[in-house]
A and B are shown apart, each in its own frame.
Chain A
Amino acid sequence: GAGVSQSPRYKVAKRGQDVALRCDPISGHVSLFWYQQALGQGPEFLTYFQNEAQLDKSGLPSDRFFAERPEGSVSTLKIQRTQQEDSAVYLCASSLEGLTEAFFGQGTRLTVV
């Protein structure tokens, strides 16, 4: 596709439920990033992949958060036992290399009730 695609666009989860958020990066982009954006705030880094290797997961807020990119293309961010504080927009970005030209998807808005 022409841009980074994320699905679903909106997700409502009951507290304690597991969720999976999908990211389709721009074809050929080596680097893939996940960010979390709370209301009225800038995006906060969660994790970074180079191809299939997860090189940095220092931003994942707890061990309930898990991300994978098994074939170096599509990535999935999984949140187990969701809590209300997990409610946010989850953004995926990809780049050919480096961070000066990273392209973001439209995000998945997660609401935990």
Chain B
Amino acid sequence: QKEVEQDPGPLSVPEGAIVSLNCTYSNSAFQYFMWYRQYSRKGPELLMYTYSSGNKEDGRFTAQVDKSSKYISLFIRDSQPSDSATYLCATYNTDKLIFGTGTRLQVFP
């Protein structure tokens, strides 16, 4: 079992839709959770990170962690075609980031 599981998609939504991206993780000791966005042929770009349980909001993006179910989510409101990318969830263990496989999102006009 991978330490971080993520549905690879692809997920295709119309412009303006609310998008929900999700991951599960296996180790209850994980405390920090990150979301990265990766455009085609580019490196991952950090969107936001959260510590432990709860919500964190940044503009149209909201990250949510539920430690009781080991479930992390990223919500994108009012999605735009420019949001089309692969979204990677991640956590870390000592000195290494552990990534999910990434979910490919396509927002069509």
Interface, chain A (partner B; CB < 8 A): 4, 33, 35, 40-45, 48, 55-56, 59, 91, 93, 99-107, 109
Contact = CB atoms under 8 A, between A and B. Distances in A.
Nearest to A55: B95
B101 A43 contact: no
Contacts of B92: 99-100
B59 interface: no
B43 A42 contact: no
Given A40-B8, A40-B101, A100-B34, A45 B96 contact: yes
Nearest to B102: A42
B46 A56 contact: no
Contacts of B100: 42
B95 A99 contact: yes
28 contacts: A33-B96, A35-B97, A42-B99, A42-B100, A42-B102, A43-B44, A43-B97, A43-B99, A45-B96, A45-B98, A48-B95, A55-B95, A56-B94, A56-B95, A56-B96, A91-B43, A93-B43, A100-B49, A100-B92, A102-B97, A103-B46, A104-B36, A104-B44, A104-B45, A105-B43, A106-B42, A107-B43, A109-B41
Contacts of B4: 42
A100 B56 CA distance: 14
A104 B45 CA distance: 7
B97 A99 contact: yes
Interface-central residue, A56, A93, A100, by most chain B CB under 10 Å:
A100
Given A33-B97, A56-B96, A99-B32, 15 more contacts: A40-B101, A42-B6, A42-B88, A43-B99, A45-B96, A45-B98, A56-B94, A59-B96, A93-B43, A93-B97, A99-B96, A100-B49, A104-B43, A104-B45, A107-B43
Contacts of A104: 36, 43-45
A34 to B, nearest CB: 11
A42 B97 CA distance: 10
Interface in B82-109: 88, 90, 92, 94-102
